[in-house]
Every structure is written in C-alpha cells, then in structure tokens.
Amino acid sequence: MTTLRVASDLAAVMVPIGYVGAALAAICAIVAAIAIIRGAGGLTGGAVALWIVCALMSLTASFASVWMPLILAGASLAAMLVIGFVVRAIANAAGVERADRTVEEALPIPVPASKAAAVTTSKPALAKTGPATASIAIVR
C-alpha cells in the first residue's frame, strides 16, 4: 500500500471520530453553561475538563485537514460560557436565589475557649489516695 492510500484510510476513520468529539464537546459546553447559571462551581469545572477531552478528540479530524469539528467545539464552549455568565448576571441582578440555599440560623455561634464560662464542679472526678494509686469518685 502506498502512503497516500494509508492516509486516505486513516482519514476515513479519524474524521468521523472528530465529528463525534465535536458533538460531545458541544454537550459538555451546554452542561457547563447550565452549571454556571446554577452557580455549581464543581460541576462547571468537571464539564469543562470533559470538554477538553472531547475537544482533543475532535482534533483527530485535523489529520485529514478537516478543521470544522475543532472550530465547532471551540465555538460551542465560547458561546455557552458567554450565555451562562450573562444569564447568571441577570439572575444575580434580579435577586433570584436557589431554594436550597438558606441561612443556617439554627446553628449556635461558636465561642472561643478563652471567653467561655469556666465550668466548676463541687466534687473532683479523681481522688488521689496515695502516690501510686488513684480511685474514681462517683459524682452524683
């Protein structure tokens, strides 16, 4: 087989892989936009990290000089990040909050040990009976 024939056979396999990678990258970009709108930082980072893997997969189509999958993957992330940030800014300006985020008023306020009241007991918990032995006093 000639090199041209091998390159043609590889291009027949790598171009569809590139388009699948671009489609998966677009899905990850949509998930990242939704996560930005919801304010979920961990999900946003995970979606963008997975987008990087899918964008690398779309780069395989460049073996056959087909750059459209990589351009689509990059454009999808850029568009979805802009849309996510704009919608998040509008939601913040409108004062819309998530229902599951509430101020925890039931938790006590922590007090430093230096300012806490000293606790005194009338009976000692341990009573020494000798230099080597100790007995436990029962406190009632």
pLDDT at position 80 is 95
pTM comes to 0.65
Which residues lie below 8 Å from residue 29, measured CB to CB, with a gap of 6+? 47, 51, 73, 76, 77, 79, 80, 81
- 21-54 pLDDT tens trace: 999 999 999 999 999 999 898 999 999 999 999 9
Q: Are the CB atoms for 69 and 61 separated by under 8 Å?
A: yes
